[in-house]
């Protein structure tokens, strides 16, 4: 799962606009893999300071390779959002402990 973390690539939205995103974390939920992505900042240092919104996709893997499918179920999005937020808080706590 961690193979995808910090991977940067370009997504196209419904209107054809390209957005550079970075996978910030992955998690497993009910046997499926989900990824949290955030728009990649121009300045990497700004990444640490930003608390922007993140996007959640399901990772699909088959014989043709890997792909991402948007999660559209609101209840599932809420559950996954809470799980990712908890992971991010753990990382913040670890970073604070490292600074001491």
pTM strictly above 0.85: no
Ranges 6-10, 32-36, 86-90: which has the least confidence:
6-10
Mean predicted confidence (pLDDT) in 18-33: 92
How would residue 77 be classed by pLDDT, with cut points 50, 70 and 90? Answer: very high
| Rounded-to-integer distance, Cα 58 and Cα 46, Å | 27
Ranges 11-15, 32-36, 59-63, 95-99: which has the least confidence:
95-99
Residues of the domain holding 81: 2-99
10 secondary structure, DSSP code:
E
Question: Domain count of the chain?
Answer: 1
């Amino acid at each position: 799962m961690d193979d995808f973390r910090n991977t940067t690539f370009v997504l196209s939205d419904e209107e054809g606009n390209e957005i550079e995103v970075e996978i910030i974390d992955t998690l497993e939920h009910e046997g499926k893999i989900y990824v949290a992505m955030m728009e990649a900042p121009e300045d990497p240092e700004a990444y640490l300071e930003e608390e922007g919104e993140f996007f959640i996709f399901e990772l699909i893997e088959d014989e043709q390779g890997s792909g991402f499918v948007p999660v559209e179920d609101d209840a599932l999005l809420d559950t996954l959002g809470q799980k990712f937020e908890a992971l991010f808080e753990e990382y913040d706590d670890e970073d604070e402990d490292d600074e001491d």
